[in-house]
């Protein structure tokens, strides 16, 4: 202790003070109080499961994951999807699979939803007589480009042939490495037009917001023809994505006969939407398109509800977290996208998936979980294609792209009726050709009511429910 | 930008600035008196909100849960000072960096512990009354939640100012802030003063967390942004300034942020916040050389032990 240490005690030597019983007891008391906070905090939150919390930000899983699926699930899936067994199913092969997702930070909920589904799918695939997928999950904090680059380099260098990514392949930072190392990247989380046609990169969900706007336009024409004036609000993720969304809304407004009054963005880190609400108030729109995602939707709705504004909010996203945060302010919120309704699974495979997910994790799967679950099965489909052509699915190269090009249709937990739905990827755009989507409204209890169904690129398939 | 948007921006800046000013006063109190870069302010912030939410979930009355949440923030803040910072300051000659790194470590650990215990999804905290809007005309108005936020923040800032100016421990804080050696010579225990400072500032962080959570939602990392803004405001106001000056600086920063958002765009708002700090620090040597009366001097006292 130096003489200039202004915070030192005024009596006694350091040595005596450090070992004294009184001092020890004091510290033990403080430590106990610190520890006592834990159980209190633990009582918080409805989510019973936890997410990654390591600073190393990496996890890996193979067949024996904590998902511990029931032994009959694999057999049921093999029967439902009509899958082969033995060598044709790539049994006995171990394939490394990269997984880039938010495992820490404010958006770790997405990583939780994605990773739980991938683990369950890997377990189901193994039980169904398929290969062992060695999933190497790495943290990308959803949109941290530096993390994305580090992850892609690591997988590229260690020979990983296929990656399940998120955050539009961590805002495109991973894409150059997919090409360099010839490893396929699948994006089941957030697809956009910006990702179309990129080498080795394929998007397995609807493109936000272009695909959703088709259904929104059709619904409003049918149910609210008097709605003419529109504004869009969103979070400023990046200039490119902001412009993309703005242009999509402008184009839809022009083709729908709406008057486009402007797009207003708030900083991505904000929890205060007063400026957006003020701008909406000045613009006086008939309805508001909401390009805010995840739980932030709930925060926005909570603040919007107290503003006295009545223009309905129509979003491109909905998660139970949004409802939890918004409380009663969620009432009347409408959204349109490829939403997965776990309370009404649309086909037999979806029913099995929901039951298995609930059993493994004690909560209903969201659309993120559904997307990553079926995308993991798409990997197995490509592995089977490669094996059938005597290729090696454990190696990087063109094999995965060729397998997907040869068979661009894959089974989906979306799509109504029958054993399973089907999705198809365009070999040109690398995005889905068709995506079954819904237009919904949420009531004050957070219950979702489907108001209409529609499909990507097909106005004729729009149906009011 | 329309007239109504401009006047609404001023109203919003007053509300958000008062809340930010309150948090900055707490953060600045620790930095100004003890010299600790206490970024774990974000951890006490989050702890308070999550404890209150957990207790409300366990059927405890809202205001009692809030009180316990704030007390937990106090206990955690004091524990951090006692268990981590003080031993470090005693053992290290140049403790400024050590405390800074330790506090960042506590933030990371705290965030992850909350995620482990409570999950990573955002959490809601009820307000406890009906939120309605009061219109001033011309599209300008406030909500009752805004009024409560503003009122509580102003009360805390005024209370802190009065405490430091008139209370016995407040005067001791000022004495340590001005001249620690002399304060020690006249019988003031600086270690005890540091504990009081951490307790008061942690209570402020806890209360700020409750107000912000009621406006939005709690998340494990919810305290980071307010802490960074508090850092900017603390530097702008001057580290040894009165809480009233913190409040004025916070309102000005909030007003600039609101106007930037409306006039330039959301992407530039964070740039503006830290741009102000950068320009201020870059110009401070010049400002100190040609200082006008009343202009704060940028002074960072060496950390204890350093």
Which pLDDT value is given to residue A57?
A: 57
pLDDT digits (tens, 9 = 90+) for A164-208: 988 765 667 888 999 999 999 999 988 888 889 999 999 999 988
Q: What is the pLDDT of residue A17?
A: 41
Residue A43 pLDDT > 80: no
Q: Which two tokens stand for residue B256?
A: 């600039």
pLDDT score recorded for residue A12: 36
The pLDDT of residue A171 is: 64
Residues of B in contact with A274 (CB under 8 A): 8, 12, 15-16, 258
Is residue B294 helix, strand or coil? coil
- Is B298's pLDDT higher than 60? no
Q: Supply the pLDDT for residue A61.
A: 62
Question: What is the distance between the alpha carbons of residues B48 and B209, in angstroms, rounded to a whole number?
Answer: 7
Question: Which residues contact residue A271 at a Cβ distance below 8 angstroms, ignoring those fewer than 6 apart?
Answer: A299, B212, B215, B216, B217, B222, B225
Here the tokens at position A256 are 């729908």
Under a CB-based contact definition with an 8 Å cutoff, are residues A132 and A93 in contact?
A: yes
Q: Residue A46 carries which DSSP code?
A: S
Instruction: Give pLDDT, residue B289.
Output: 62
Is the complex ipTM more than 0.95?
no
pLDDT for residue A66 is more than 90: no
Of residues A272, A282, A298, nearest to B2 (C-beta): A282
Contact A223, A287 (CB under 8 A): no
Which chain A residues have a beta carbon less than 8 Å from that of B135? 308
Q: State the pLDDT confidence band at A10, using cuts at 50, 70 and 90.
A: very low
Within 10 angstroms of residue A390's Cβ, the number of other Cβ atoms is: 6
Q: Please give the pLDDT value at position B93.
A: 65
**Contact assignment for A274 to B76 by CB distance below 8 Å:** no
Query: Residues near B43 by Cβ (< 8 Å), separated by ≥ 6?
Result: B76, B80, B106, B107, B110, B111, B223
Q: List the single residue in B78, B111, B184 with the smallest CB-CB distance to A6.
A: B184
Tell me the CB-side half-sphere exposure of residue A369, using CA atoms within 13 A: 25
Taking contacts as CB-CB distances below 8 angstroms, the residues of chain B near A271 are 212, 215-217, 222, 225
Say which range, A68-72, A342-346, B114-118, has the weakest mean pLDDT: A68-72
Listed as own residue / partner, the contacts of B170-174 with beta carbons closer than 8 Å and 24 or more positions apart are B172/B196, B173/B29, B173/B33, B173/B197
For B12, which of A236, A271, A275 is closest by C-beta distance?
A: A275
Residue pairs between chains A and B whose CB atoms are closer than 8 Å = 230
Partners of residue B184 in chain A, C-beta under 8 Å: 6, 10
- Model pLDDT, residue A271: 81
To which H or E segment does residue A314 belong? strand A313-315
Helix (H) or strand (E) holding A18: helix A14-19
pLDDT bucket at B293, cuts 50 / 70 / 90: low
Q: Are A240 and A227 in contact (CB under 8 A)?
A: no
d(CA B119, CA A385): 39
In the numeric block, the tokens 């957006």 are attached to A276
Task: Classify strands A458-464 and A313-315 as parallel, antiparallel or unpaired.
Answer: unpaired
Q: What is the CATH number of domain B3-120+136-289?
A: 1.10.3470
The predicted pLDDT at position B61 comes to 93
Q: Which of A12-16, A289-293, A364-368, B40-44 has the lowest mean pLDDT?
A: A12-16
Q: Provide the 3-class DSSP secondary structure of residue A51.
A: coil
Q: How far is A460 from chain B (nearest CA, A)?
A: 38
Q: Do domains A58-206+344-431 and A210-337+438-464 have the same CATH topology?
A: yes
CB atoms < 10 A from the CB of B87, how many? 13
* Residues of chain A with C-beta less than 8 angstroms from the C-beta of B120: 47, 51, 108-109, 111-112
What pLDDT, on a 0 to 100 scale, did the predictor assign at position B299? Answer: 52
Residues 194-253 of B with CB under 8 A from A: 194, 212, 215-217, 219-222, 225
Half-sphere exposure of A238 (CA within 13 A, CB side): 13
- Please choose, from the candidates B67, B82, B78, the residue with its C-alpha nearest in 3D space to the C-alpha of residue B206: B67
Q: What is the pLDDT of residues B71-128, one digit of tens each?
A: 999 999 999 999 999 888 887 766 788 888 999 999 999 988 998 888 777 888 888 8
- Collapsing DSSP to helix, strand or coil, A308 comes out as coil
**pLDDT, tens digit, 9 for 90 and up, residues B17-61:** 999 999 999 999 998 888 888 999 999 999 999 999 999 999 999
Distance of alpha carbon B44 from alpha carbon B272, whole angstroms: 27
* Structure confidence at residue A68 as a pLDDT band (50, 70, 90): low
Side-by-side strand order, sheet with A409-412: A409-412, A421-425, A432-434
Give, as one character, the DSSP assignment of residue A11: S
Q: Residue A82 class from Cβ within 10 Å (0-12 exposed, 13-18 middle, 19+ buried)?
A: exposed
Q: DSSP states of A176-212 as a string?
A: HHHHHHT-EEEE-S-B-GGGTT-TTEEE-SPBTTHHH
With CA atoms as reference, report the closest residue to A450 among A335, A356, A349, A358. A335
Tokens of A329: 């302010």
In the block, tokens 């360099």 appear at A180
**Residue A207: beta bridge partners?**
A191
Q: Do B225 and A269 touch (CB under 8 A)?
A: yes
Q: Which residues of B touch A235 (CB under 8 A)?
A: 266
| pLDDT of residue A58 exceeding 50 | yes
Interval A328-340 mean pLDDT: 92
pLDDT in tens, A291-325: 998 888 999 999 998 888 889 999 999 988 888 88
pLDDT at B295: 54
pLDDT, tens digit, for every residue of A207-261?
888 899 999 999 999 999 999 999 999 988 777 778 888 999 999 999 999 999 9
A433: pLDDT strictly greater than 70: yes
Residue B305, CA atoms < 13 Å, CB-side half-sphere:
23
pLDDT mean across residues, chain B? 86
Report the percentage of chain A scoring pLDDT > 90.
52
Is CATH 3.40.50.2300 the classification given to domain A210-337+438-464?
yes
Q: Are strands A162-164 and A132-139 parallel, antiparallel or unpaired?
A: unpaired
Q: DSSP string covering A361-384, please?
A: HSS---HHHHHHHHHHHHHHHHHH
Query: d(Cα A464, Cα A451) in Å, to the nearest integer?
Result: 6
Q: Are A193 and A251 in contact (CB under 8 A)?
A: no
CATH fold label, A58-206+344-431: Rossmann fold (3.40.50)
CA dihedral B15, B16, B20, B21 (to 10 degrees): -30
pLDDT of residue B51: 95
Domain boundaries, chain A: 1-44, 58-206+344-431, 210-337+438-464
Task: Extract the tokens encoding A7.
Answer: 């915070």
Q: Under a CB-based contact definition with an 8 Å cutoff, are residues B215 and A329 in contact?
A: no
Asked whether the predicted pLDDT for residue B160 surpasses 60, the reply is yes
């Amino acid at each position: 202790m130096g003489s200039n240490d202004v915070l030192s005690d005024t009596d006694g030597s350091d040595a005596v003070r450090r070992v004294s019983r009184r001092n020890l007891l004091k510290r033990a008391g403080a430590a106990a109080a610190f520890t006592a906070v834990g159980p209190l905090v633990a009582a918080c939150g409805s989510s019973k499961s936890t997410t990654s919390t390591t600073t190393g930000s990496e996890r890996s899983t193979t067949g024996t994951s904590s998902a511990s699926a029931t032994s009959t699930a694999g057999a049921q899936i093999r029967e439902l999807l009509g899958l082969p067994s033995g060598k044709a199913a790539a049994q006995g092969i171990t394939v490394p699979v990269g997984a880039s997702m938010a495992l820490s930070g404010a958006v770790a909920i997405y990583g939780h939803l994605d990773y739980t589904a991938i683990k369950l799918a890997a377990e189901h695939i193994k039980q169904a007589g398929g290969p062992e997928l060695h999933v190497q999950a790495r943290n990308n904090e959803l949109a941290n480009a530096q993390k994305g680059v580090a992850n892609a380099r690591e997988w590229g260098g260690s020979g990983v042939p296929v990656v399940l990514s998120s955050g539009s392949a961590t805002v495109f930072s991973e894409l150059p490495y997919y090409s360099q190392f010839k490893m396929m990247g699948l994006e089941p989380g957030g697809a956009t037009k910006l990702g179309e046609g990129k080498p080795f990169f394929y998007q397995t969900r609807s493109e936000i917001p272009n695909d959703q706007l088709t259904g929104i336009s059709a619904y409003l024409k049918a149910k609210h023809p008097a709605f003419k004036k529109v504004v869009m609000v969103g979070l400023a993720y990046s200039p490119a994505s902001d412009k993309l969304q703005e242009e999509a809304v402008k184009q839809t407004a022009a083709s729908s006969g709406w008057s486009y009054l402007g797009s207003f963005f708030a900083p991505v880190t904000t929890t205060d939407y007063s400026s957006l609400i003020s701008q909406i108030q000045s613009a006086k729109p008939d309805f508001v398109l909401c390009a805010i995602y995840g739980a932030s939707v709930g925060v926005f709705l909570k603040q919007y509800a107290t503003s006295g504004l009545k223009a309905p909010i129509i979003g491109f996203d909905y998660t139970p977290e949004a409802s939890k945060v918004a409380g009663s302010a969620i009432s009347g919120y409408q959204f349109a996208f490829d939403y997965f309704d776990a309370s009404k699974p649309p086909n037999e495979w979806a029913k099995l998936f929901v039951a298995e997910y609930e059993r493994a994790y004690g909560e209903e799967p969201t659309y993120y979980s559904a997307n990553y679950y079926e995308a993991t099965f798409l990997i197995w489909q490509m592995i089977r294609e490669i094996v059938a052509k005597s290729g090696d699915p454990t190696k990087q190269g063109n094999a995965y792209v060729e397998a997907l090009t040869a068979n661009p249709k894959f089974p989906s937990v979306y799509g109504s009726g029958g054993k399973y739905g089907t999705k198809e990827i365009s070999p040109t755009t690398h995005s889905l050709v068709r995506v079954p989507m819904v237009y919904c409204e949420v009531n004050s209890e957070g219950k979702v009511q489907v108001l209409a169904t529609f499909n990507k690129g097909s106005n004729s398939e729009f149906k009011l429910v | 930008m329309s007239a109504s948007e401009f006047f609404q921006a001023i109203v919003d800046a007053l509300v958000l600035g008062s809340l930010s000013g309150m948090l900055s006063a707490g953060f600045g109190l620790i930095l100004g008196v003890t010299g600790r870069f206490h970024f774990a302010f974000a951890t006490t912030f989050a702890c308070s909100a999550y404890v209150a939410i957990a207790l409300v979930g366990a059927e405890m009355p809202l205001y009692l849960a809030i009180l316990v949440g704030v007390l937990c923030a106090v206990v955690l803040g004091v524990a951090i000072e006692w268990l981590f910072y003080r031993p470090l300051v005693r053992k290290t000659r140049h403790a400024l960096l050590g405390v800074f790194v330790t506090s960042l470590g506590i933030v990371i650990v705290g965030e992850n512990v909350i995620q482990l215990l409570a999950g990573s999804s955002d959490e809601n905290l009820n307000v406890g009354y009906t939120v309605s809007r009061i219109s001033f005309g011309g599209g300008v108005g406030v909500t009752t939640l805004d009024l409560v936020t503003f009122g509580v923040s102003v009360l805390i800032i005024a209370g802190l100012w009065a405490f430091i100016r008139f209370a016995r421990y407040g005067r001791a804080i000022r004495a340590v802030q001005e001249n620690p050696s002399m304060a020690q010579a006249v019988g003031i225990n600086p270690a005890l003063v540091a504990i009081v400072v951490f307790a008061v500032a942690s209570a402020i962080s806890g209360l700020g967390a409750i107000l912000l959570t009621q406006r939005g939602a709690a998340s494990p990392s919810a305290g980071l942004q307010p802490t960074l803004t508090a850092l900017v405001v603390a530097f702008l106001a001057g580290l040894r300034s009165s809480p009233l000056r913190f409040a004025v600086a916070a309102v000005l920063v909030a007003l600039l942020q609101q106007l930037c958002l409306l006039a330039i765009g959301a992407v530039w708002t964070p740039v503006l916040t830290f741009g102000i700090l950068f320009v201020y620090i870059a110009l401070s040597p010049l400002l100190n050389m040609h200082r006008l009366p009343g202009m704060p001097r940028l002074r960072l006292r060496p950390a204890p032990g350093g």
